[in-house]
Amino acid sequence: MNNSLLPAAFADLEAHVAEWALPSFDARMQHRAASSMDNIRRFYDAMQPRAEAALAHLENFPLDVLPAAEQRLMHMLYALAQAAMAVEIHGQPKVGHAKLPIAVRVLREPLPV
Amino acid sequence: MAADDFIANKWTQLAGLKNGPVSAESYRSPAFYQLERERVFGRSWLIMGRVEEIAKPHSFMVKEIEICEASVLITRDGEGRVQAFHNVCSHRHNLLVSEPQGCSQLIRCPYHGWAYGTDGELRGVPDEKCFVGLDRKTAGLAKIATEVWNGWIFINLERKPSVSLEDFLGDFGSFLANMEYPNADNPIVVEAQLDCNWKVVADAFSESYHIPVIHPETIGTTFASTSNRTGRLMDARFFGPHRFCSMYGNPDYRPHDHQKVEQLAYSQVQTGSTIAAGKVGSMDAFLAHPSVNPTRTKSWSMDVNFVFPNFNLDTGPGGFWTHHFWPTSYHTTRHEVRFYVPKALTVRERFQQEHYLSRVIEVLVEDVSNVARVQRGLESGAKDAMFLQDNEALLRHSVHHVEKWAKSATVQEAMSE
């Protein structure tokens, strides 16, 4: 039994799993919005250069039944999309005039989650 | 095109309205809200959802209309018929179904166990012998007038609607008829509880004048450009109480070099535009409809089809999405948004959808984080009226028709020219 949090080739990203491999859109969005820019940037700088390799790795598995380690890697990619909102669009953790927690909730996410 | 090519100053006139200040009262008056309850929401045909949400026989869903204190149970019976009922048990009026959707031949009241079929008929009463004179035939669920039109489920809370759905939609029905709805069975559902009058948030999604200012980084550069800096409309049309506009889109928008994740998300997935999740090719029939981008311009971002009183059907190069603006008090609103997306078949498609959703949620957050400020300003009473420009003609049209319905003793009067 392999207890690795992420697929072996992505072991260097394991330090980010607990914070960013969150299982729902709202959890990832709220976490990013409430984080400091330095924190978001650390995750973005680690994950962004590995994103293409992560997608290529995940393409070897059926999308709707990913093994646990691959599922976490997928959630890290989703979290990267969130981090990109801060880094690539706003230049700050969230919409400047938005209050925390963010008032918008996603009741049904894109599938599979 | 140069900036001045977009000056029309004719939309207000097209709407049959005069320029000049517009009263702010309908946005802040508790008394006006009571009129909206009885005369706008209580008498209009209301879109509750699409037939795909209850695709299987014996499936059902519950929708709340807070302003009318109505809980609405919409079912598809064993014969495939779609019908809305009050979600209220006939026995002691307990709310019958508490989950948002389900599928079952029998719907049982959680209080004393009365059971109903999905056709609304009363099917079972525990210890029925003790109900002297109970006639099951007259004790089914209370029906609500229901029509299915192009896959949209409409209801009308008047016991006997004053106007048929066909007459209510009028020429707007012809304008929208036979539209294809790609991915109608796969919505992303989003909800926000907002501290503003329902028309404040509806207004935010009916004009593009605000886009370069409120949304400078998210979509400012996709909805405006040097040739149309302030988001002037491409087209606007008015159909009785309903309305339409077509918004400018910058055809030259591309992600910047530093937007590495955005580039990756869109690199191997063909969507209709940079902010869309629909797949190119599957949209052809939808995009060919004469009322989708009716000016046939390349500089197109989206169209708003506003079905009176509270529903937006939006169309864009990547498909359609909807807004419901449900009043919950004179200064609070439940805002529901649905983005209809294809089922992701590959990891890359799924990642692109996550990026797409992340971005449209940021746009929504920009809009809905501002509405409470507008409401506070309105309620301060600082001003009696708002100044609206020609490209905000849909807002002027909205206030005009809501006020007209609120003032009219009959629907016929409200609908008169």
Helices (H), B120-248: 165-169, 171-176, 198-204, 211-214, 220-223
Residues B247-258 as b or e (16 or more Cβ within 10 Å = b): bbbbeebebeee
- Interatomic CA distance for residues A57 and A8, integer angstroms: 11
The structure tokens listed for B77 are 């019976």
**Residue contact A102–B365, C-beta within 8 A:** yes
Chain B positions in Cβ-Cβ contact with residue A82 (cut-off 8 Å): 358
Residue type at position A34: A
The rounded mean pLDDT for chain B is 94
Question: How far, in Å, CA of B235 to CA of B228, rounded?
Answer: 14
- Shortest Cα distance from B186 to chain A (angstroms)? 8
Which pLDDT value is given to residue B6?
Answer: 74
Minimal CA separation from B182 to chain A, in Å: 15
**How many angstroms away from the CA of B218 is the closest CA of chain A?**
6
pLDDT tens digit sequence for B364-403: 999 899 999 999 999 999 999 999 999 999 999 999 999 9
B281 or B113, which is more confident? Answer: B113
Q: How far is CA B75 from CA B67, B85, B124, B171, B181, in A?
A: 22, 8, 18, 29, 21
Cβ of A74 and B347 within 8 Å? yes
CA angle B229, B231, B237 (to 5 degrees): 150
- Residues of chain A positioned with their CB less than 8 A from the CB of B359: 85, 89
DSSP 8-state assignment for residue B344:
P
**Residue B180 scores a pLDDT above 80:** yes
Interface with chain A: mutation pick from B362, B366, B367, highest number of A CBs within 10 Å: B362
Instruction: Please list, in sequence order, all residues whose beta carbon lies within 8 angstroms of the beta carbon of residue B351, skipping any fewer than 6 positions away.
Output: A55, A77, A78, A81, B264, B265
Closest partner residue to A81 (CB to CB) among B343, B347, B354 is B354
Mutate to test the interface with A, among B189, B194, B347 (most CBs of A within 10 A): B347
pLDDT digits (tens, 9 = 90+) for B62-88: 999 999 999 999 999 999 999 999 999
Hey, are the CB atoms on B365 and A111 less than 8 Å from each other? Answer: no
Query: Given B190, B265, B362, which is nearest A89 (Cβ)?
Result: B362
Determine the distance in angstroms separating the CA of B187 from the nearest CA of chain A, rounded to an integer.
8
> So where are chain A's domains?
13-90
For chain A, the farthest-separated pair of C-alpha atoms sits apart, in whole angstroms, at 48
Contact A103/B217, CB-based, under 8 Å? no
Residue at token pair 């709707």: A64
Phi-psi region of A104 (alpha: psi -120 to 50; beta: other; left: phi over 0): beta
The CATH code belonging to domain B44-161 is 2.102.10.10
For the stretch A85-111, pLDDT in tens is 999 999 999 999 899 999 999 999 999
Q: Where are the domains of chain B?
A: 3-39+172-415, 44-161
CA distance B296 to B303: 12
Summarised one tens digit per residue, pLDDT across range B284-309 is: 899 999 999 999 998 999 999 999 99
ipTM: 0.97
Residues on B contacting A at a C-beta cutoff of 8 Å? 186-194, 217-218, 256, 258-262, 264-265, 277, 341, 343-348, 350-351, 353-355, 357-359, 361-362, 364-366, 368-370, 373
pLDDT digits (tens, 9 = 90+) for B79-125: 999 999 999 999 999 999 999 999 999 999 999 999 999 999 999 99
Its CATH architecture, for the domain B3-39+172-415, is: Alpha-Beta Complex (3.90)
Per-residue pLDDT of B22-56, as tens digits, reads 999 999 999 999 999 999 999 999 999 999 999 99
pLDDT at B218 over 90: no
Question: How far apart, in Å, are the Cα atoms of A46 and each of A10, A28, A42, A77, B263?
Answer: 11, 17, 6, 11, 17
